[in-house]
């Protein structure tokens, strides 16, 4: 595990972009996966600028979304799909060769799960998996207690996730489940990048990096990944 401590959010976003860029330079036809949430916005903005000015080429690359709230479609502010459309796909001047964005409002969510898994099987393993980390140590919706051997799956949201989800959207949505790339697929990725900023992440970042490897802190499994970066701002790294 490589830990990169950055002076602030801006530098964290640059560092993450640089790793993504190097991977795409080496493997221009590879599969990349980005999350939703607050943390990746800076990295994604920089990614869009780099693509739009020709620094990064995506015409042969494939994109798969990391996760989604079951029940939320692309029109719902706060859904991962809404976030990716607004921050990534709309401002991009070029298109990925193929994309799979999970539709949390699919009539048949099991079929959606299968299609996501098949997409990763077809174009994977993932070359770059960009991740945020939740306050319970979740990555994607791999919640505490997750089975590390799972691929794409549908899972009940943890109490912690339910507590914080109000920051993304109106809690009028009665959400109970998430759909997510599994730990097995994340562990198969060539490069994993976890980005975290803010003092509220300091405790869980310490547990993930320096605590025991346990499914009570799902991100701790990344200690066993051969090519994983934790890119942190100073405050998220302050307990290390
Ligand atoms: C979002 C996701 C989650 C978030 C995590 C951190 O697609 O997969 O695991 O990355 O909850 O969220 P933020 O970045 O909002 O602090």
For the chain (length 240 residues), average pLDDT per consecutive 10? Answer: 97 98 96 97 98 98 98 94 98 98 98 98 98 98 98 96 86 87 98 98 98 98 98 98
Q: What is the pLDDT of residue 166?
A: 84
Q: Is the CB of 39 under 6 A from ligand 1?
A: yes
CA of 39 to the centre of ligand 1 (A): 7
**Beta-carbon contacts of residue 89 (< 8 Å; ≥ 6 apart):** 99
Among candidate residues 66, 10, 19, the one with its CA nearest the CA of residue 41: 10
**174 vs 110: CA distance, rounded Å:** 19
Q: Is the CB of 136 under 6 A from ligand 1?
A: no
Q: From the candidates 68, 117, 138, 233, which is the catalytic residue?
A: 138
Do the Cβ atoms of 229 and 192 come closer than 8 Å? yes
Q: What is the pLDDT of residue 171?
A: 64
Active-site residue, 138 included: yes
**227 vs 229: CA distance, rounded Å:** 7
Backbone angles phi, psi at 182, to 5 degrees: -90, 165
| DSSP annotation of 200 | G
Among candidate residues 186, 175, 130, the one with its CA nearest the CA of residue 17: 130
**236 vs 5: CA distance, rounded Å:** 9
Q: Is the CB of 50 under 6 A from ligand 1?
A: no
Q: Is the CB of 43 under 6 A from ligand 1?
A: no
Please tell me the pTM assigned to this model. 0.98
Mind giving me the DSSP string for 9-30?
HHHHHHHHHHHHHHHHHH-TT-
Residue nearest to atom 10 of ligand 1 (CA): 132
Tokens 């193929």 -> residue: 98
Q: From the candidates 23, 112, 143, 233, which is the catalytic residue?
A: 143
Q: Long-range contacts made by residues 185-188, C-beta under 8 angstroms, separation at least 24? A: 185/120, 185/124, 185/125, 185/126, 185/151, 185/152, 186/126, 186/129, 186/131, 186/139, 186/140, 186/142, 186/222, 187/148, 187/221, 187/222, 187/224, 187/225, 188/124, 188/125, 188/126
């Amino acid at each position: 595990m490589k830990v990169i401590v950055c002076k602030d959010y801006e530098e964290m976003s640059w560092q993450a972009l640089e790793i993504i860029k190097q991977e795409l330079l080496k493997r221009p036809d590879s599969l990349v996966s980005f999350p939703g949430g607050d943390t990746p916005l800076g990295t994604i903005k920089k990614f869009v600028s780099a693509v739009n000015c020709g620094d990064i080429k995506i015409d042969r690359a494939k994109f798969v979304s990391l996760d989604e709230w079951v029940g939320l479609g692309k029109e719902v502010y706060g859904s991962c799909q809404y976030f990716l459309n607004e921050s990534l796909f709309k401002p991009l001047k070029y298109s990925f060769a193929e994309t799979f964005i999970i539709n949390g409002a699919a009539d048949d969510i099991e079929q959606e799960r299968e299609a996501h898994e098949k997409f990763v099987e077809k174009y994977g393993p993932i070359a770059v998996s960009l991740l945020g980390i939740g306050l319970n140590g979740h990555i994607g919706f791999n919640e505490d207690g997750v089975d590390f051997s799972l691929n794409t799956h549908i899972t009940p949201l943890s109490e912690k996730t339910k507590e914080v989800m109000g920051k993304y959207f109106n809690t009028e949505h009665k959400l109970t489940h998430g759909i997510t790339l599994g730990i097995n697929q994340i562990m198969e990725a060539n490069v994993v990048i976890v980005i975290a900023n803010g003092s509220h992440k300091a405790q869980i970042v310490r547990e993930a990096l320096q605590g025991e490897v346990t499914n009570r802190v799902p991100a701790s499994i990344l200690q066993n990944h051969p090519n994983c970066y934790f890119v942190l701002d100073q405050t998220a790294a302050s307990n290390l």
